[in-house]
Amino acid sequence: MNPITNPFAPGAGTPPPELAGREALLETARIALERVRRGLPTKSILMVGVRGVGKTVLLDRMRDAAEEAGLQTIRIEAPENRSLPALLAPQLRQALLRLSRVAAARALAERALRGLTGFARALKVKYADIEVGVDLDPEPGLADNGDLEHDLTALLEVVGGAARAADTVLALFIDELQYVDEDQLAALVTALHRIAQRKLPVVLVGAGLPQLRGQMGSAKSYAERMFDFPEVGPLTGEAARSAIVKPLADCGVAITDDALALILERTRGYAYFLQEWGKHTWDVAGASPITAADVAVATRAAIAALDESFFRVRFDRLTPLEKRYLRAMAELGPGPHRSGDIAVQLDRAVTSLAPTRAQLIAKGMIWSPGHGDTAFTVPLFDEFMRRIMPGDAWQRD
């Protein structure tokens, strides 16, 4: 069939043609944001899940809905090599400039901009990557102590006051939160705690890998009472089928039951993989209806595409020992696995592998669903590791 009209959209955060099975999550976010607007007690939302379940797509859809409702938003993705203050500062500046156009909020928004100037200057020594251009002079004593926890709290308080004066909400949408350092997470939690106490209209909607839940608790013990942690998992049942069937139907294309079953089996319902298999199945199919034979051919193309992009880009960041550790996990199956069992595969002591395990968690490759357990954060990565490191040579140093 014509690849130009292919409806499927595999990509990092690329919106799928049919966002199936996520209605409850979207409604949860809508209710939370509306409660914040009305000054009612509301927990911030942190979505957690492994790679490929569609957290980024959901985050962007929630932000779009917030902006359609007239709320002020900022959108940040936290990479591994940037500080949270550096990411927040320019986005807060843009939000405050928008708020300053509202007559009732202008004075408070301009005060917040002065606070932002002091915030950036005071923290420049510790966070060298922080850069923000504000034409206003700082206000002495406002968010300029050089202590992130204190200054971020003071800054968000005055930002929240400006948002309240403008009769709106400032919603912070932050992706990949697991990459934020613990001390910076602690500062963010403290600031949001104070904001909630003062009933100011600032709220966080974030997303991260499953370890984010534990990271937030380590940063501040009371974090679990401040946030809802909805888990985003693979699509199941009708939602998984709809993600394939509806885009095809919208294009006037049918798919046989056995072909659909084969796609669902191969993808295990993961949103990204559904898009990948949908794309390649469309490209190889000659006509409607799509058959199981088409899916069988497409599967080879989909796996090759994943190996060269989705999987390989993560594999290439690993050290030789980290690769062997993941290969040992793969030898045991999809997981999760006990750390001791992985050590046996490598003929090493558990304690000697602890630094490697910690590095892989920091890189977002694995997480610990329970004490002593280890699981992949990338679905189907066990199969990839067996393909990229076949045989048993990986067992020898």
What CATH number corresponds to the domain at position 257? Answer: 1.10.8
Model pLDDT, residue 182: 93
- What backbone torsions phi and psi does residue 135 show, to the nearest 5 degrees? -80, -15
pTM for the whole structure = 0.91
Evaluate if residue 134 carries a pLDDT over 80: no
Q: Are residues 52 and 134 in the same domain?
A: yes
Q: Are residues 122 and 254 in the same domain?
A: no
CA 369 to CA 372: how far, in whole Å?
A: 9
Q: Are residues 303 and 391 in the same domain?
A: no
Model pLDDT, residue 397: 66
- Domain end: 206, 228, 250, which one? 228
Evaluate if residue 269 carries a pLDDT over 90: yes
What kind and span of H or E run contains 388? Answer: helix 381-388
pLDDT tens per residue across span 92-118: 999 999 999 999 999 999 999 999 999
Q: Are residues 212 and 271 in the same domain?
A: no
Q: Are residues 294 and 337 in the same domain?
A: no
- Domain end: 205, 228, 251, which one? 228
Q: Are residues 91 and 202 in the same domain?
A: yes
Evaluate if residue 14 carries a pLDDT over 90: no
Instruction: Check: CB of residue 98 under 8 Å from CB of residue 72.
Output: yes
Range of the domain at 299: 235-311
Strand ranges (E), 88-189: 170-175
What CATH number corresponds to the domain at position 158? Answer: 3.40.50.300
Structurally, the chain folds into a number of domains equal to 3
* Residue 218, domain member (yes or no): yes
Instruction: Check: CB of residue 241 under 8 Å from CB of residue 222.
Output: no
pLDDT tens per residue across span 19-36: 999 999 999 999 999 999
Q: Are residues 362 and 256 in the same domain?
A: no
* Residue 391, domain member (yes or no): yes
Q: Are residues 207 and 71 in the same domain?
A: yes
* Residue 380, domain member (yes or no): yes
What CATH number corresponds to the domain at position 382? Answer: 1.10.10.10
pLDDT tens per residue across span 169-188: 999 999 999 999 999 999 99
CA 3 to CA 346: how far, in whole Å?
A: 45
